[in-house]
Amino acid sequence: MKGLFITLEGPDGSGKSTIARFLADYIKEKGYDVITTREPGGTKISEDIRDIILDNNNTSMSYVTEALLYAASRAQHVSQKIRPAIDEGKVIICERFVLSSLVYQGIGRGLGIEKVKEINDFAIQGVEPDLILFFDIPPEIAIRRKTKKNQGDRLEREKLDFHRKVYEGYLSLMEVYEGKIKTIDATKTKNDTFQQAKAALDNLFEKI
């Protein structure tokens, strides 16, 4: 079997990391070889780029630089980790992918969807997710969950206005990914959220 590439999307604090772990355990139990990974990051070079992007001292970073760094981090991640795993028939659970850049940089930062898509098309060289799970939670609730835990990185410290734009950006792009994207109500308990994500996965596995 060719591998399966599943990405998790949604606002900061929507619970993607927790559900990624639950899903990986579930897929393992089903007998598949699974890896979990994240963006920005996932390889040494990509994690190094992540540190630059999220560094709270980098207040002078231009939005174009930010978008290119996310794309650069992604290019390395795809070539070194994701494509090889797909070729080996693995199931890949990845927190965030191109949709994050379209929404955060394209809409949130105002760089425009087309430009951001262009640099990302170059970065991913045709590797597209088989399924996108969108963790739907209004930013007001999600941010409260997150900032209870820590001070927040450079992106998390953005004002609520930015996170609202990001959230609405996600909603506005749903139809572009129609058929590939499944909305999960992430305002519920962890277990309830997991059950919804699991159902979407079961559905995908039935089709292969």
**Residues that bind ligand TYD in the complex, under the rule CB under 6 A:** 12-13, 16-17, 38-40, 70, 95-96, 100-101, 104-105, 155-156
Residue 69's identity, in one-letter code, is L
Find the shortest distance in angstroms from Cβ 111 to ligand TYD: 11
Separation between Cα atoms, residue 128 and residue 98, nearest integer Å: 9
- Collapsing DSSP states into helix, strand and coil, what is residue 3? coil
Q: Whole-number minimum distance, CB 166 to ligand TYD, in Å?
A: 8
For residue 179 the two structure tokens come to: 């058929």
Residue placing its CB nearer to ligand TYD in the complex, 154 or 188: 154
In the complex, minimum distance from the CB of residue 205 to ligand TYD, in angstroms, rounded to a whole number: 25
Q: Name residue, tokens 């760089």.
A: 111
Q: Closer CB to ligand TYD, residue 3 or residue 13?
A: 13
Q: Which is nearer to ligand TYD, 13 or 129 (CB)?
A: 13
CA R_g for the chain: 16
The distance of closest approach from Cβ of residue 23 to ligand TYD in the complex, given in angstroms and rounded to an integer, is: 15
Q: Is 4 or 119 the residue whose CB approaches ligand TYD more closely?
A: 119
Tell me the residue ranges of DSSP E strands in the chain: 4-9, 34-38, 91-95, 131-136, 181-185
